[in-house]
Amino acid sequence: MRLQSFYPIVVTEHLTACRDFYRRWFGPAVVFEATWFVLLSAGDAGPANLAFMPC
pLDDT at 44: 77
User: pTM of the entire structure?
Assistant: 0.85
Domain ranges of the chain: 9-54
Q: Please tell me the distance from the alpha carbon of residue 22 to that of residue 20, in angstroms, as a whole number.
A: 6
Which residues fall within 8 angstroms of residue 6, CB to CB, at 6 or more apart? Answer: 49
- Residue 27 is predicted with a pLDDT of 92
pLDDT of 5? 75
Rounded CA-CA distance 23/37 in Å is: 15
Are 10 and 50 in contact by the 8 Å Cβ rule? The answer is: yes
Is 70 exceeded by the pLDDT of residue 53? yes
Distance CA 6, CA 25 (A): 21
Interval 10-47: pLDDT, tens: 999 999 999 999 999 999 999 999 999 999 998 776 77
Residue of 11 and 5 predicted with greater confidence: 11
Q: Which fold has domain 9-54?
A: 3.30.720
